[in-house]
Amino acid sequence: MTTLPTALITGASSGIGATYAERFARRGHDLVLVARDEARLNTLAARLREDFGVAVDVLPADLTQLSDLATLETRLGYDEKIGILINNAGMAQSGGFLQQTAEGIDALIALNTTALTRLAAAVAPRFVRSGSGAIVNIGSVVGFAPEFGMSIYGATKAFVLFLSQGLHLELSSKGVYVQAVLPAATRTEIWERAGIDVNTLPEVMEVGELVDAALAGFDRRELVTIPPLHVAERWDALEGARHGLLADIRQAHAAERYRTA
C-alpha cells in the first residue's frame, strides 16, 4: 500500500490553513500544523485525529522570528515523510502606504515573502533528491492589481507569484510540483487582524469553496490556480502578452522612442 506524504501547513490555526488541514486529513494525509496559537492548533489537531485517524504534529511558531523559522527549516530538511508544503501563513495590510510603520513593513515582508521563500528553499533540495514533492504558495490576485491600494501587501503577493513561476521552471523537470494559489477576498480572520470589517466588502468567497477549488487545481497540477477567475482564457492572454513583451525586448540598444537627435 502506498503511504501518502505528510503535509506541512503554515498558518494552520484558522481560515485557509485550517481548511487545508481538514481537507488533507480527509484524504488520509498525516499533518504537521504550524501557527502561533498553540491552543487552537491543539484543538484542531485533536479533532482531525479523532475524525480521520491521521497523525498530527503541532509546531507552534512565529515565522517572523528567525529562531522559530530556523527550527521549521530544520524539520523540513530532514523529515522524509513531509512531501507537501503549504506555504499559507501571511498577513494583510491595514491602511495605505503613508500609514505604515517600519515595524509593520518588516513584519509584513518577513512573513509574506521571507518565511515563505526560506521554507521552500529548505525543503526543495530534499524533494529534488527524491524526485517528488509539492510546494503550494498562497498568493493573491492583489499581486497583479495595484489599483486595490494595498501596495506593500500586493508587492509581497506579486513576489509569491513570480517565485512560484520561477520555481516551476527550475524544479518541475526534477519531479517537484509547484502551485501558486491566488485567492481574492476570502472569509478568514486575516481581515479582522488588519482592522478591516470583512462584512463591508462587496463580494467574499467562503473559505471552504476557496480551498476546494485550490485542491482541484492541485490535483490537475496547475501552476497558477485562481479560484475567483471565471474566464480562464484571461490568464492565458495575460501570459501570452507577457511572453510577447519579452520577445520584443532587444537589449543591445535603447528603443527608438528614447533616442534623441
132 found inside a domain: yes
- For 204-256, the pLDDT digits (tens) are 788 999 999 999 999 999 999 999 999 999 999 999 999 999 999 998 999 98
- What residue spans of 99-253 are helical by DSSP H? 102-109, 116-130, 151-171, 190-193, 207-219, 232-247
- For 117-131, the pLDDT digits (tens) are 999 999 999 999 999
- pLDDT above 60: residue 1: no
Q: How many domains does the chain have?
A: 1
- For 138-173, the pLDDT digits (tens) are 999 999 999 988 899 999 999 999 999 999 999 999
CA of 161: how far to CAs of 66, 113, 141, 223, in Å?
24, 11, 9, 10
Parallel/antiparallel/unpaired status of strands 224-225 and 134-138: unpaired
Residue that is written with C-alpha cell 501557527 in the block? 35
**Which secondary structure element, helix H or strand E, spans residue 98, and what is its range?**
none
140 found inside a domain: yes
99 found inside a domain: yes
1 found inside a domain: no
What is the residue type of 84?
I
109 found inside a domain: yes
203 found inside a domain: yes
Domain of residue 44 covers: 6-230
Choose, from 20, 153, 177, 258, the residue flagged as catalytic. Answer: 153
User: Residue 35: phi, psi to the nearest 5?
Assistant: -175, 175
16 found inside a domain: yes
CATH number of 50's domain: 3.40.50.720
Q: What's the grid cell of residue 45?
A: 489537531
> In the annotation, is 258 catalytic?
no
256 found inside a domain: no
